[in-house]
């Protein structure tokens, strides 16, 4: 009899100390919601990181292209209308720039009245590629080259100006104003980066 009384007294206490099915389901639901929110936060933060990283890389690339273009324009004696002059493959325009730079000998000294040609143009087969082509004179020590400056080109624009800043024909230009837009993908968001400059030719 004493044993039965103890069991009766102990039973309710055990039920109070345990977890009911409803309580368990509530805990599981709360855990699932918290886990989902945590995953969403991590995904958003990772997307933001990729987006910012892509924007920084684009900025660096755009600045590299601007710096290279600026250096070559400063070194150029004039803007050429075509290259080559007979049966030209390239023509200076709002999207293509042909620069005539003084040829150099093996000592890096300028060869008088002799020019090498630098061409900046979007690739004919893939407009996202922006190329720099180097065509040296036969007397020049400068090496020929075909370099891809960027694979993210959206737009390139050249404007040819006189000393006063008025638009003129390319061959009359004293300076060149140019702007470029690069694009890239960061997650699901498309990012663009723009850069521009205005540079005088060496004789001005």
User: At 78, which helix (H) or strand (E)?
Assistant: strand 78-79
Split into its structural domains, the chain has a count of 1
In a domain, 1, yes or no: no
Q: How confident is the model at residue 175 (pLDDT cuts 50, 70, 90)?
A: very high
In a domain, 79, yes or no: yes
CB atoms within 10 A of CB 114: 16
In a domain, 189, yes or no: yes
Number of H helices, E strands in the chain: 2, 10
In a domain, 115, yes or no: yes
Residue with tokens 């040296």: 136
State the pLDDT at residue 67.
94
In a domain, 3, yes or no: no
Segment among 38-42, 52-56, 97-101, 128-132 with least mean pLDDT:
52-56
In a domain, 24, yes or no: no
| pTM, 2 dp | 0.70
Give residue-wise pLDDT tens across range 6-54. 444 454 444 444 567 787 777 777 877 877 777 766 655 544 444 444 4
Instruction: Identify which of 157, 153, 156, 136 has the alpha carbon closest to the alpha carbon of residue 145.
Output: 136
In a domain, 96, yes or no: yes
- Which residues does residue 90 pair with via DSSP β-bridges, in sequence order? 83
Q: In which domain, by residue range, is 69 found?
A: 49-200
In a domain, 191, yes or no: yes
Q: What is the DSSP letter of 108?
A: S
């Amino acid at each position: 009899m004493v044993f039965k009384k103890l069991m009766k007294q102990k039973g309710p206490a055990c039920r109070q100390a345990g977890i009911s099915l409803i309580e368990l389901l509530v805990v599981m639901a709360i855990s699932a919601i918290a886990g989902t929110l945590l995953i969403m936060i991590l995904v958003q933060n990772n997307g933001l990181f990729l987006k910012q990283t892509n924007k920084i890389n684009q900025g660096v690339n755009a600045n590299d292209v601007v710096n290279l273009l600026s250096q070559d324009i400063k070194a150029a004696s004039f803007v050429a209308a075509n290259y080559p002059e007979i049966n030209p493959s390239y023509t200076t325009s709002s999207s293509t720039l042909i620069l005539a730079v003084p040829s150099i000998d093996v000592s890096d000294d300028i060869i008088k009245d002799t020019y090498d040609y630098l061409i900046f143009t979007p690739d004919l087969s893939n407009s996202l590629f922006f190329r720099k082509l180097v065509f040296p004179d036969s007397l020049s020590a400068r090496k020929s080259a075909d370099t891809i400056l960027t694979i993210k080109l959206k737009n390139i624009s050249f404007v040819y100006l006189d000393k006063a800043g008025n638009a003129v024909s390319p061959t009359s230009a004293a300076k060149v104003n140019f702007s470029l837009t690069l694009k890239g993908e960061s997650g699901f968001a498309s990012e663009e980066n723009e850069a521009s400059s205005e540079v005088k030719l060496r004789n001005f």
